[in-house]
Structure 1
Amino acid sequence: MLAWHWIGLAFVTLSVGYTVWCFNRLVFNRLRVAEAWSGIDVQLKRRSSLVPNLVLALRAYMAHERSALESLTEKRSLAQRNEHAGAGQRGLSETGLSNALTQVFVAAEAYPQLKADSNFLALQRTLTDLENQIQMSRRYYNGAVRELNVVVQSIPSNLVARLFQFRAAEYFALADAREGQSPKLGF
């Protein structure tokens, strides 16, 4: 009888220990996802704040490309409106902004005097660097989301996740895989 008491006590102790371990793992992963999202958010806000400067630099040269500039301004506004949306919705609007920026840079290729403008070149370099940083941040975020989602959805840690109301996180992804491809430039 005494042996069963010790076995029961050991089982309860192990169960509580496992629950604490799972809970701490869930908290760690949730905080890593939040930190990774913060990194993406900072880069997206930096990019969005550069768009008005880019539009000003381009207006003088690209009078015939008004629709591209209006599209860029519209996509930036949409991205700013979705600033507090979830990763999925934010990903859609930010993808639109990335595509609009790509279209503007492709259109700028037709203006040799613009390509020689130091302000435009500096903005273009900064935006290119930001796009690379956003890609790195997105990969880090999606990796953190994957780790959290594995713990939230795997047995038996999913029981602890459900008990403490942990939810799977949303990936920050392109709306259409083709949007991540480089544009085709025809010369």
Structure 2
Amino acid sequence: MIALFVFLGIVSLLVLFLINVYNRFAKLRNFVLDAWSNIDVALRRRYDLIPNLVETVKGYAEHEKSTLDSVIHARNAAMAVPTGDINAQIKAENQLQQSLRSIFALSEAYPDLKANASFLDLQQKLNEIEENLERARRYYNGSVRENNTYGESVPGVLVASMFKYRKFDYFETDEASRANVKVDFS
């Protein structure tokens, strides 16, 4: 009889342990998804702004069509990533960020464009979006760090596969985005 109570006590403790670990995984996953939704809002605002920016630049730098086309292509590729595929979205956003940098490099070569009120307004709005995106990125990366750390440490790692634990990628700029853009008009 005592053996049965000990067995039931151990099983009960194991069930409580599993419930606790599962709830922690669910909470951390929801933090990451919530953080990504903040990023998604800023990205949507940026997507809406890019066509206006490209049209403004087009009037001043018509022969820079390939640069403008690459921005539109990168925007469309980023928008086409399936909802919920955060890791693919991060890769597409890094490509878009690199192409956006090339537009602002163009403005250095065209003083009239750099002084255009519409361009300056769009650039200011884009800078505000980028600042919001940076704050959201920091929150997202913190949530990802907490999620990934729990899934890779004890006790989470012991039951991660049982609960279909999902490791998320950090939203960082890639090496290509960190490099200076070279503009050559010769």
**TM-score (normalised: structure 2):** 0.85
Residue equivalent to 1:179: 177
* SS of 1:32 mapped into structure 2: helix
Residue equivalent to 1:116: 115
Show CA shifts across 1:106-158 (max 9, x none): 11112222222221111101111212222222222222122112222223322
Q: How far 1:162 sits from its partner (Å)? A: 2.2
* SS of 1:60 mapped into structure 2: helix
Query: Are the structure 2 counterparts of residues 80 and 144 from structure 1 closer, same or farther at C-alpha, using a change threshold of 3 Å?
Result: same
Give, as a single letter, the amino acid of the residue that structure 2 aligns with 1:18. Answer: F
For the aligned residue pairs, the C-alpha RMSD in angstroms reads: 2.4
Contact 1:142 1:172 in 2 (8 A): yes
Q: Is residue 163 of structure 1 aligned with residue 162 of structure 2?
A: yes
* SS of 1:104 mapped into structure 2: helix
Identity %, equivalent residues: 38
Structure 2 distance, partners of 1:181, 1:131, is 18
Residue equivalent to 2:51: 52
Residue equivalent to 2:16: 17
Q: Which moved more, 1:115-124 or 1:26-35?
A: 115-124
Q: How far 1:159 sits from its partner (Å)? A: 3.2
Contact 2:42 2:132 in 1 (8 A): yes
Residue equivalent to 2:134: 135
Q: Is residue 67 of structure 1 aligned with residue 66 of structure 2?
A: yes
Note the 1:84-103 alignment, pairs <5 A.
84=83, 86-103=85-102
Structure 2 distance, partners of 1:90, 1:112, is 34
Moved over 6 A (4+): none
Structure 2 distance, partners of 1:165, 1:83, is 21
Structure 2 distance, partners of 1:83, 1:119, is 32
Structure 1 segments unaligned to the other structure (5+ residues): none
Give, as a single letter, the amino acid of the residue that structure 2 aligns with 1:118. Answer: A
Q: How far 1:85 sits from its partner (Å)? A: 6.3
